[in-house]
Structure 1
Amino acid sequence: MDIRRLRLWESRNATVLSNDLIRVLLEDQGGMVLELSAITPQGGRLNAHLIPHYRGTGTSVFSDENAEYWKNSPYLYQKSGSYFSFPNYGPAYESDQGTQEQSGFTASSYWMVERYGTDPEFGGVWLMSMVRNRKAHWTVRKIDMLLPNQPVHYSALFITNNAQEDLIANTTWNNELGSPFLESGCVLNASADLWATGRDDQLIGASSRLVAEVQFDDWKKAPLKSGGTVDLTEVPPPIGKTDFISG
């Protein structure tokens, strides 16, 4: 078991947690989980998380001479692997609570590391970090943990609304996997008991083959617009469609 802080480049810092099975690398910028990796039988290391080719490596998109390439978006500049979106998910938009950033404030902001260490009882390593929206008066704290002999990255999130008004929000955990994961024939699994499709216009530019705004309890039998059902537990080859469901 090991946990340590390291500098990626310039002022971009991260925390690496590892046990005898997996290694996790969490960047402070956006709380991005850049790496969830394991050693292969051949002795190499395979990272399950996507590192996009367009990911920036500078201090900030606003100080990058090519900022227009990322459309001045901190989210696109630092996007990678898996990350937490709050208080919204998807494209930026204007709301009664002000401008909502693309994929949420949490994915574009700096997560402050409060403390980290080793658990004396279970031997796990843990990291506690926090992001605060001073204007909207809410705080998100996150605990990331690895336990001995378990190939699992555990995360727990605590959201506190310090405003006088109720907070209307969405919470989303995004997982973006890299090759060879999610290749044709890969099998998906999840613990939800009920699934739902969104509106046809929920994702800009996306074309869904599923019936819009319906619920179903077996994602091996998702309803198709063309009639019949489709098994969503097996990744298909490229079909030019986007299957977006929540559960």
Structure 2
Amino acid sequence: MITIETDGARVLFNPEGGHLDLVEFVVDGVTLRPMHRAHWRTGEHNDGVPEAVDAEAGITLKSLAGDFFCAPFAENDTGDGPYHGWPANGMWDLVGQHEPEGGGVTARFLLRNRVLGAQLFKEITLRPGHPVVYQTHRFVGGEGAISAGHHPMVRVDGGARLSFSAKAFGATPATPLESDPARGRSALVYPQEFADLSAVKLASGGTVDLRSLPGPDASEDFLLLAEAPGHRLGWSAVLAPAGGFIYLGLRDPRVLPFTLLWLSNGGRDYAPFSGRHKSVLGVEEACSFFIDGYRASIAPNTLTARGYPTALALVPDGERAIHFAFGAIPAPAGWREVTDVSANATAVTLTDCGGESRQMPFRGDFLGAME
């Protein structure tokens, strides 16, 4: 593991698969650990005896923790590499650390494998006093287009309230994550489209309000939220009063137009999940056609027909950069739901449904999303 830290955040980086294995934020002397780490991982924050992970399952599952970058996103039918691609399964070499303008630290890594011929660099930046992890992935060279996305996972033990920047619609993919009752269960209707998370159809009948989690028990589900057009700051907020934190993910929706939610709540009976992988929320920010993989994402599909990109074009003689940031602040007493997030040059402002606001230090020019 490689440690990257400032006085506002600490990251343990796992070069095997590029996972942010442990993420801590420090705000006013309070240490927050909102990110998930699978129970089969050895070491700190496990809930019991680790379970064996089949070697054929790949590094992504073996190393499952925090956040990691995927290219292609999900099914890898490029003919080269495992599920979620080499960025989530290959080895990353540290090529240097430096102090960026404004202070802090930037650690730069290079993936040993190429992605469609491109070199892929990962930059993780921590700023003094910022409870934020800033990440940039740079594809240098390469040909064609690739689906890509981040895969942050948040613990929602004790419940959480979800909110997002404006969405045009939501949908589930064509098939459920788990369709064999001998292995597991999915609770939602597949496929379906819905206006918002307040009324998502259940396979058993009726609807469920997925703004409040953990959601249906003993189930494994997946859905997509498509960004509404016309704004530059995409955000995802998870208010977890029992956990004592608000998680906030920030991105440019013109690059990553979809928020993909993985609701993992004990719906997989097989190892290493073994019915124990519960109260886990993947708040995945991506440019992809659901989880159908590389070929489905680069081809015309139902999302591209509605004007959404589902793959990012590489630049043979240049680079393509993807920026993503996430952080956390303590959950203020009495807050029920984040209803607005705005950014300026030095901070993001979170506003509760009751009208109260809190600020989180943030480098506004990182996403070009300042007011």
TM-score of the superposed pair, with normalisation by structure 1: 0.70
Unaligned 5+ runs, structure 1:
1-12, 58-67
Does 1:222 find its partner at 2:200?
yes
Which residue of the partner structure matches residue 93 of structure 2?
112
**Could you tell me how far apart the structure 2 residues matched to 1:245 and 1:237 are?**
13
AA paired with 1:71?
A: A
Q: Number of residues paired by the alignment?
A: 212
Q: Does 1:170 align with 2:144?
A: no
Matched, 1:86 2:78: no
**Equivalent residues in 2 for 1:178-189 (5 A)?**
181-189=155-163
Question: For residues 213 and 161 of structure 1, do their structure 2 counterparts lie closer, same or farther at Cα, with a shift above 3 Å needed?
Answer: farther
2:251 corresponds to which residue?
Answer: none
Q: Classify 1:158/1:220 alpha carbon distance in 2 versus 1 (closer, same or farther; 3 Å).
A: farther
Offset at residue 151 of structure 1 (A): 1.6
Contact 1:31–1:111 (8 Å) recurs in 2: yes
Q: Which runs of 5+ in 2 are unaligned?
A: 44-51, 226-371
Once the two structures are superposed, what CA deviation does each residue of 1:215-237 show, in whole Å capped at 9, x if it has no partner? 33422232333444321121136
CA distance in 1, matches of 2:203, 2:214: 17
Match of 1:233 in 2: 211
**Alignment deviations for residues 117-171 of structure 1 (CA, whole Å, 9 cap, x no partner):** 2223x223222222153484123222222223322212122234524xx24x332
C-alpha distance in 2, partners of 1:87/1:225? Answer: 30
Q: What is residue 33 of structure 2 aligned with on the other side?
A: 47
Report the Cα distance in structure 1 between the residues aligned to 2:174 and 2:12, rounded to whole angstroms.
35
Secondary structure of the residue aligned to 1:112 is strand
Which structure carries more strand by proportion? 2
Q: In structure 2, what is the equivalent of residue 18 of structure 1?
A: 6
What CA distance in whole angstroms lies between the structure 1 residues aligned with 2:177 and 2:80? Answer: 18
CA distance in structure 1 between the aligned counterparts of 2:224 and 2:156, rounded to whole angstroms:
18
Structure 1 residues 74 and 221: alpha-carbon distance in aligned structure 2, compared to 1, 3 A threshold:
same
Counterpart Cα distance in 2 of 1:162 and 1:183: 42
**1:172-212: CA deviations, max 9, x gaps?**
322233xxx31142222333613221122445755332222
Distance 1:217 1:124, change over 3 A: farther
**Alignment counterpart, residue 195 of structure 1, candidates 157, 170, 173:** 170
Corresponding residue number in structure 2 for 1:77: 62
User: 1:62-91 CA distances to partner (integer Å, 9 max, x unpaired)?
Assistant: xxxxxx85325333333322111221315x
The one-letter code sitting in structure 2 at the alignment partner of 1:117 is H
**Deviation (angstroms), 1:15:** 3.2
1:85/1:203 CA distance change after superposition, 3 Å: farther
Higher RCO (C-alpha 8 Å, min separation 6): 2
Is the aligned partner of 1:36 residue 2:23? yes
Correspondence list, 1:117-156, <5 A: 117-120=98-101, 122-134=102-114, 136-156=116-136
